[in-house]
């Protein structure tokens, strides 16, 4: 509770940056199902046997549908995921042309299989929570390592797209988390001081991002194991976004 007292005493929150997956969007309901189908397509395109699927899922941090928040699927970019898949295939004797763009293959496979995932909020009443924050005059942003296609699709499906002043994605224009570039841009665009901005996320990429940008970090996690992982790096860990009012009020 020490961090909470410091926040209450020294900070007026004027801006909140949210991660998307696992923070606003229920990660498992969407990404585990999409990944399962995407790997099938990638294996087929690479001429690899379907028996390698469990090894690739494990390399990405998915074991028996349980997702490791420190794994590539939770914390990586499409480029790092493609590299992870490529290395796993090579290690298992699959010959892949040097001209194969594994990032492009990965992105295409995920886009083709986006229908397999269920877009659901990570907590009840998400739209009302964000609406309440906007009514308080707080600037809101999403900063995600996902691409523009999935980000817009998911936020609109969640009926929360309209609440964000800025949405930063892995679009090849801005550096991705944990590079603090987008924190700098958000603060600069809306004339916000570092002590007025909070980052809310569910992975160590998010906590590193907040630390690199010099802002307060709120971790969100329901599972005890994930809370333990985040607690050493976030300033405070909450069950989900609905508890954000505990540090505002």
Residues contacting residue 43 through CB under 8 Å, at least 6 positions apart: 49, 50, 52, 53, 56
Task: Give the model's pLDDT for residue 64.
Answer: 82
Task: Kindly tell me the burial class for residue 64, based on how many C-beta atoms sit within 10 Å of its own C-beta (0-12, 13-18, 19 or more).
Answer: exposed
Q: Is the pLDDT of residue 236 over 90?
A: yes
Helix (H) or strand (E) holding 101: none
Task: Give the model's pLDDT for residue 204.
Answer: 95
Q: Is the pLDDT of residue 126 over 50?
A: yes
Tens digits of per-residue pLDDT, 169-197? 998 899 999 999 999 999 999 999 999 99
According to DSSP, residue 217 is labeled: E
Domain residue ranges in the chain: 2-26+119-248, 28-116
Task: Give the model's pLDDT for residue 156.
Answer: 97
Could you tell me the pLDDT band of residue 9, with boundaries at 50, 70 and 90? Answer: low
Task: Give the model's pLDDT for residue 100.
Answer: 80
Asked whether the beta carbons of 27 and 67 are under 8 A apart, the reply is: yes
Out of 5-19, 115-129, 132-146, which region has the weakest mean confidence (pLDDT)? 5-19
Exposure string (b/e) for 141-157, b if CB count within 10 Å is 16 or more? Answer: bbbbbbbeebbeebbee
Please report, for residues 55, 88, 112, 166, the alpha-carbon distance to residue 39 in angstroms, rounded to integers and kept in the order given. Answer: 11, 12, 11, 32
Task: Give the model's pLDDT for residue 98.
Answer: 76
Q: Is the pLDDT of residue 6 over 70?
A: no
Helices (H) and strands (E) in the chain, counts: 13, 8
Sign, CA torsion 173/184/15/68? positive
| CATH number, domain 2-26+119-248 | 3.40.50.1000
| Whole-number percent of the chain with pLDDT over 90 | 82
Q: Is the pLDDT of residue 245 over 60?
A: yes
Tens digits of per-residue pLDDT, 209-225? 999 999 999 999 998 99
According to DSSP, residue 222 is labeled: S
Give the mean pLDDT of 18-36: 95
Asked whether the beta carbons of 170 and 77 are under 8 A apart, the reply is: yes
Q: Is the pLDDT of residue 238 over 90?
A: yes
Q: Is the pLDDT of residue 226 over 80?
A: yes
Tens digits of per-residue pLDDT, 45-100? 988 999 999 999 999 999 887 899 999 999 889 999 999 999 999 999 998 877 78
> pTM for the whole thing?
0.89
């Amino acid at each position: 509770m020490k961090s909470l007292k410091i926040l209450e005493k020294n900070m007026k929150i004027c801006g909140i940056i949210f991660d998307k997956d696992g923070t606003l969007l229920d990660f498992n309901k969407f990404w585990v199902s999409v990944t399962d189908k995407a790997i099938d397509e990638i294996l087929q395109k690479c001429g690899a046997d379907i028996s390698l699927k469990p090894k690739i899922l494990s390399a990405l941090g998915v074991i028996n549908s349980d997702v490791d928040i420190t794994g590539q699927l939770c914390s990586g970019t499409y480029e790092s995921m493609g590299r992870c898949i490529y290395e796993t295939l090579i290690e298992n004797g699959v010959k892949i042309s040097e001209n194969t763009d594994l990032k492009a293959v990965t992105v295409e496979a995920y886009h083709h299989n986006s229908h397999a995932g269920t877009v659901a909020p990570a907590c009840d009443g998400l739209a009302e929570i964000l609406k309440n924050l906007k009514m308080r005059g707080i600037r809101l942003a999403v900063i995600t390592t996902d691409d523009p296609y999935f980000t817009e699709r998911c936020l609109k499906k969640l009926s929360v797209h309209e609440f964000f002043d800025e949405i930063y994605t892995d679009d090849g224009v801005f550096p991705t988390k944990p590079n603090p570039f987008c924190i700098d841009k958000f603060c600069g665009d809306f004339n916000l001081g570092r002590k007025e901005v909070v980052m809310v996320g569910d992975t160590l990429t998010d906590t590193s991002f907040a630390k690199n940008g010099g802002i307060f970090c709120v971790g969100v996690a329901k599972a005890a194991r994930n809370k333990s992982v985040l607690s050493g790096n976030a300033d405070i860990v909450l069950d989900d976004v609905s508890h954000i009012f505990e540090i505002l009020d």
